[in-house]
C-alpha cells in the first residue's frame, strides 16, 4: 500500500506537516497550493524538505477553472498551467490535479473539454508531466466521476488521467459499480475522505466537515472495494478538509490517517477476499466481553479515601498484590484496583494527573491477537516490568495516554487475580449492596479529539459507535457518543468537552488530560441497592425536587413509583424497549463520577435526558461555599 496525505489535512507550516506525515509512516504528500504559497522558500526548498523527510510529492493541486473556457480566458488558462508546470518541476512532482471548473464563463460539452485536455496533455508530456482530472461535486458542468472519466477517455492521451475522490462520489451517491470498469492505468490517483451525514450545501460540507475514512458515515469501504476491483495499486491519498484537524495536533491527526487507511484496506480484504490488498495480515477486529477492571493511580492519602468510599459502597478489600503496592477491591464481578507504587507507569501517571483511573482491563477473546491488531493499526504497545512468577499482561496506550490491558480466558491471564494477588477478605464479608458488573465506563476528552478516540476503538474492537447526542451542562454543551460491543457487554461513553466550565471540561483541566472520568456500576435492583447503601451510611447525590415532578408528569408515572424515586434520589428514563434507573455518588476528587444503574427490559441508552439535572447537582456540591462558580 502506497499512502499519501494532502498538506491541507493537518495543522502547522510545511516543515511541521512533513515531519508529522513522515513520522506517521506515509510515503507521499500532496502539496496543496496555499501551503506552498504561504511557505517562505523556493519550490526547490520544498522539494528538498519533502525528500529529506522521506516523502514523495504525489501531486500539486488544485489547478482550477481550466476546461471549457472561451477565448481569451482559454489561452490565459494555458499560460497559467505552464507557470504551474514550472513550479511542479522545481518541486519534483509530475502530477497536477485539475478540478472541474466552477467558472461561470465556462462552457459545457464533453468533446470541448476533451480537446482542452488533449492540448494540456501535449504540453505536460513535453516536460514529462501528467495531468489528473477530478470532478468536484459542485462543478459547473462536470460534477460526477462518470463524466470526468468520459472526458479523460475521449481525451485519449497517455499524460491525462482521472482522479477519483471518495467524497465527491459518495456525497452525490453516485453508483459505485461505474468505477469498476475504469482501466487502472487511467486512474492517476485516488483521494480518500469520509464525512458525517449532515444535510448541507455540498461545497461547505466538503471544505469543513470531511474526516478520516471510518470516522464518518459515508460508504468509503464500498468505494475502496470498487477502486481495488480495477487493479489500481497507486497511492491512496487522504484529502481531509476539516476545521478541527487544521487546528489539532499534526502528529495525532497523521497517526489517525494512517490508521484509517490500514483499517480501510483490512475491511476491503475481508469483504472481498479475491482482491489483493498490500497490507500485512492482522487478526480481525476483537470481540470484548466487558470491562474486567479499572485501576486508579493514587498516593496513600487518596488511596485511603477511595478505599473508604469503596467499602461504604459495599466493596471488600479482596486482595493485595504479591509484590507491588496495589490493592484489589471487589463486589460481584467488579474489580477496582488502587495502585500506590512509587515507581513505574502508575506513579508517573499520578505525578502528572493526580489520582485518576489511569488504566482499564478489558476481557477479550484473545489478548495476544488484540495487541497484534492494535500494533498493526499503529497503537503503542506498553511493556511493563514483570516480577518473578507474575504475568506479563498485554497492554497498549490508549488515545489519551492511559493504559488498556487485555485479559482472555484461554491463557493464565484468566487467573490473574489468583496469581498476582494474595487474598485479604472473602467477598461475603463486606456490606455488599448488590452491584454486579461494570455497565459502562465514561471517558472524557476535548471535543475535537473525539474522532481519534472513536476510530481507535472501532478499528481495533468489534464495536459500533452510536449517533452523537448533546449533553447539556449548565456551562456548555458536551458531545457524547457511545462505543458498544455487539452483545453490549462492552460499553464506553465518550464525552467531548469544549468549555472548561463544563463538568467534563473541568475534569480535563484539573487532571491535566483526558481519560476515565465515570464509572457506571450495574445492579439488578436499584431500590434494594439504595436501601443497602443507606444502611452503610452512604448519602447519594441530591436531585432537585422539580426534576421528580417533571418525571412523574412526563412518563405518567404512578405517584407511588415517583415517590420511591424521589425519596431515594434515583433518576429515571424510559425508551421503547425498557426502563433505566440511575443513582449517583457525589463526585469524588477532581470530578470523578460513580453511578449505579439498573436496566429493565432492553433499555439501550445511558440516561442522557437526565444529565443536565445530575450535572447541576454535582456542580452545586463541587462549589465550595463563598467561592466563585466553576
Size of the site for Mg ion (CB under 5 A): 3
Interface region with Mg ion, contact rule CB under 5 A, candidates 189-197, 225-233, 268-276, 382-390? 189-197
Q: Residue 114 or 240: which CB sits closer to ligand DHB? A: 240
- 203 in helix, strand or coil? helix
Q: Which is nearer to ligand DHB, 31 or 182 (CB)?
A: 31
Whether 326 contacts 283, CB under 8 Å = no
- Residues numbered 229-248 forming contacts with Mg ion, rule: CB under 5 A: 239
Q: Toward ligand DHB, which CB reaches closer, 27 or 239? A: 239
The values of phi and psi at residue 59, to 5°, are -170, 170
Is residue 191 near Mg ion by the rule CB under 5 A? yes
Alpha helices (runs of H) in 53-109, residue ranges in sequence order:
73-91
Q: What is the DSSP letter of 9?
A: G
Q: How far is the CB of 60 from ligand DHB (least distance, A)?
A: 11
With respect to ligand DHB, which residue has the nearer C-beta, 239 or 295?
A: 239
- Range in contact with Mg ion (rule: CB under 5 A) among 27-35, 183-191, 471-479, 584-592: 183-191
Give the Cα separation of 461 and 473 in Å (integer): 30
Element (H, E) at 207: helix 202-208
| Environment class of 628 (CB within 10 Å of its CB; exposed 0-12, middle 13-18, buried 19+) | exposed
Q: Residue 206 binds which one of Mg ion, ligand DHB, none, with CB within 5 to 8 A depending on kind?
A: ligand DHB
Rg (CA), the chain: 28
Q: Which residue is nearest to Mg ion (CB)?
A: 165
Closest to 129 (Cα-Cα) out of 77, 60, 74, 67:
60
What is the closest distance, in whole angstroms, from the C-beta atom of residue 191 to ligand DHB in the complex? 6
Task: Identify what 215 binds: Mg ion, ligand DHB, none; CB under 5 to 8 Å per kind.
Answer: none
Is 271 known as a binding-site position?
no
Specify whether the CB–CB gap between 13 and 291 falls below 8 A: no
Q: In this chain, which stretch among 187-195, 266-274, 294-302, 570-578 interacts with Mg ion, using CB under 5 A?
A: 187-195
By beta-carbon proximity to ligand DHB, the closer residue of 61 and 143 is 61
The number of CA neighbours under 13 Å toward the Cβ of 516 is 25
Among residues 67, 165, 317, 595, the one that binds Mg ion under rule CB under 5 A: 165
- If the CB atoms of residues 64 and 500 are measured against ligand DHB, the closer one turns out to be 64
Q: Is 447 annotated as a binding residue?
A: no
Cell 421528580 appears where? 548
**Residue 219 CB, nearest approach to ligand DHB (Å):** 18
292 binds, among Mg ion, ligand DHB, none (CB under 5 to 8 A by kind): none
What is the smallest separation between the CB atom of 124 and Mg ion, expressed in angstroms? 19
| End-to-end Cα separation, the chain, in angstroms | 50
Shortest spacing between CB 97 and ligand DHB, in angstroms: 6
Beta strands 435-446 and 2-6: pairing type? unpaired
Longest dimension (CA), the chain: 91
C-alpha cell at 217: 458515515
Q: Consult the annotation and say whether 134 binds a ligand.
A: yes
State yes or no: 317 annotated in a binding site: no
355 belongs to the binding site for Mg ion (CB under 5 A): no
How near is the Cβ of 192 to ligand DHB at its closest, in Å?
Answer: 11
| Closest residue by Cα to residue 62 from 137, 132, 139 | 132
What's the full length of the chain, in residues?
A: 630
The DSSP result for 336-391, as a single string, is: EEEE--SSHHHHHHHHHH-SEEEEEEEEES-HHHHHHHHHHTTPPEE-----TT--
Q: Is 117 exposed, middle or buried (0-12, 13-18, 19+ CB in 10 A)?
A: buried
Please identify, using beta-carbon distances, which residue of 169 and 569 lies nearer to ligand DHB.
Answer: 169
Binding positions for ligand DHB, rule: CB under 6 A: 61-62, 97, 99, 134, 136, 165, 191, 206-207, 239
Query: Is 440 one of the annotated binding-site residues?
Result: yes
Which lies closer to Mg ion via its Cβ, residue 97 or residue 374?
A: 97
To the nearest whole angstrom, how small is the minimum distance from the Cβ of residue 264 to ligand DHB? 18
Q: What is the Cα–Cα distance from 325 to 393, expressed in whole angstroms?
A: 17
Annotated binding residues for Mg(2+), written as ranges, equal 440, 518, 595
Interface ranges with Mg ion (CB under 5 A): 165, 191, 239
Residues annotated in the binding site, as ranges? Answer: 134, 165, 191, 239, 440, 518, 595
Residue positions forming the annotated binding site for a divalent metal cation: 134, 165, 191, 239
Amino acid at each position: 500500500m502506497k499512502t499519501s496525505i494532502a498538506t491541507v489535512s493537518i495543522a502547522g507550516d510545511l516543515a511541521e506537516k512533513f515531519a508529522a506525515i513522515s513520522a506517521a509512516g506515509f510515503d507521499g504528500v500532496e502539496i496543496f497550493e496555499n501551503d506552498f504559497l504561504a511557505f517562505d522558500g523556493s519550490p526547490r526548498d520544498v522539494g528538498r524538505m519533502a525528500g529529506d523527510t522521506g516523502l514523495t510529492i504525489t501531486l500539486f493541486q488544485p489547478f482550477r477553472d481550466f476546461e471549457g473556457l472561451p477565448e481569451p480566458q482559454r489561452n490565459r488558462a494555458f499560460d497559467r498551467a505552464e507557470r504551474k508546470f514550472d513550479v511542479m518541476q522545481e518541486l519534483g512532482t509530475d502530477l497536477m490535479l485539475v478540478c472541474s471548473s466552477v467558472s461561470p464563463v465556462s462552457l459545457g460539452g464533453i468533446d470541448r473539454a476533451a480537446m482542452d485536455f488533449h492540448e494540456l496533455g501535449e504540453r505536460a508530456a513535453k516536460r514529462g508531466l501528467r495531468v489528473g482530472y477530478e470532478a468536484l461535486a459542485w462543478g459547473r458542468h462536470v460534477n460526477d466521476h462518470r463524466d470526468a472519466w468520459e472526458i479523460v477517455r475521449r481525451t485519449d492521451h497517455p499524460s491525462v488521467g482521472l482522479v477519483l475522490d471518495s467524497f465527491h462520489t459518495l456525497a452525490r451517491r453516485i453508483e459505485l459499480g461505474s468505477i469498476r470498469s475504469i482501466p487502472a492505468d487511467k486512474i492517476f490517483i485516488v483521494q480518500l475522505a469520509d464525512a458525517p451525514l449532515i444535510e448541507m450545501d455540498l461545497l461547505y460540507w466538503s471544505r469543513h466537515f470531511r474526516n478520516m475514512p471510518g470516522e464518518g458515515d459515508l460508504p468509503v469501504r464500498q468505494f475502496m472495494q470498487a477502486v481495488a476491483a480495477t487493479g489500481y495499486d497507486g497511492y491512496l491519498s487522504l484529502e481531509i478538509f476539516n476545521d478541527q484537524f487544521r487546528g489539532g495536533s499534526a502528529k495525532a491527526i497523521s497517526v489517525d490517517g494512517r490508521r484509517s487507511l490500514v483499517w480501510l484496506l483490512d475491511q476491503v480484504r475481508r469483504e472481498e477476499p479475491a482482491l489483493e490488498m498490500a497490507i500485512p495480515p492482522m487478526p480481525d477486529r476483537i470481540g470484548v466481553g466487558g470491562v474486567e477492571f479499572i485501576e486508579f493511580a493514587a498516593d496513600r492519602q487518596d488511596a485511603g479515601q477511595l478505599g473508604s468510599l469503596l467499602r461504604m459502597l459495599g466493596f471488600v478489600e479482596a486482595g493485595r498484590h504479591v509484590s507491588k503496592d496495589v490493592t484489589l477491591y471487589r463486589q460481584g464481578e467488579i474489580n477496582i484496583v488502587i495502585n500506590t507504587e512509587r515507581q513505574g507507569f502508575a506513579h508517573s501517571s499520578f505525578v502528572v494527573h493526580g489520582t485518576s483511573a489511569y488504566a482499564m482491563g478489558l476481557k477479550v477473546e484473545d489478548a495476544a491477537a488484540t495487541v497484534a491488531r492494535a500494533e498493526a493499526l499503529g497503537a503503542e504497545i506498553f511493556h511493563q516490568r514483570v516480577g518473578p512468577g507474575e504475568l506479563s499482561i498485554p497492554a497498549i496506550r490508549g488515545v489519551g495516554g492511559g493504559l488498556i490491558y487485555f485479559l482472555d480466558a484461554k491463557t493464565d491471564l484468566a487467573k490473574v487475580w489468583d496469581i498476582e494477588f494474595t487474598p485479604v477478605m472473602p467477598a461475603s464479608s463486606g456490606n455488599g449492596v448488590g452491584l454486579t458488573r461494570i455497565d459502562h465506563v465514561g471517558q472524557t476528552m476535548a471535543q475535537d479529539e473525539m474522532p481519534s478516540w472513536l476510530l481507535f476503538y472501532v478499528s481495533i474492537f468489534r464495536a459500533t459507535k452510536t449517533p452523537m447526542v448533546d449533553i447539556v451542562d449548565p456551562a456548555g454543551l458536551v458531545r457524547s457518543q457511545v462505543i458498544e460491543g455487539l452483545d453490549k457487554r462492552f460499553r464506553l461513553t465518550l464525552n467531548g468537552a469544549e468549555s472548561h466550565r463544563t463538568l467534563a471540561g473541568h475534569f480535563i483541566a484539573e487532571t491535566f488530560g483526558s481519560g476515565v472520568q465515570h464509572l457506571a456500576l450495574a445492579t439488578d435492583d436499584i431500590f434494594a441497592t439504595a436501601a443497602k447503601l443507606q444502611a452503610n451510611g452512604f448519602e447519594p447525590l441530591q436531585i432537585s425536587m422539580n426534576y421528580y415532578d417533571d418525571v412523574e408528569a412526563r412518563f405518567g408515572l404512578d405517584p407511588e413509583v415517583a415517590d420511591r424515586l424521589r425519596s431515594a434520589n434515583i433518576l429515571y428514563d424510559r425508551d421503547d424497549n425498557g426502563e433505566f434507573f440511575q443513582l449517583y455518588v457525589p463526585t469524588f476528587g477532581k470530578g470523578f463520577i460513580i453511578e449505579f444503574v439498573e436496566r429493565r427490559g432492553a433499555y439501550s441508552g445511558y440516561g442522557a435526558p437526565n444529565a443536565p439535572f445530575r450535572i447541576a447537582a454535582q456542580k452545586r456540591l463541587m462549589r465550595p461555599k463563598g467561592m466563585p462558580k466553576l
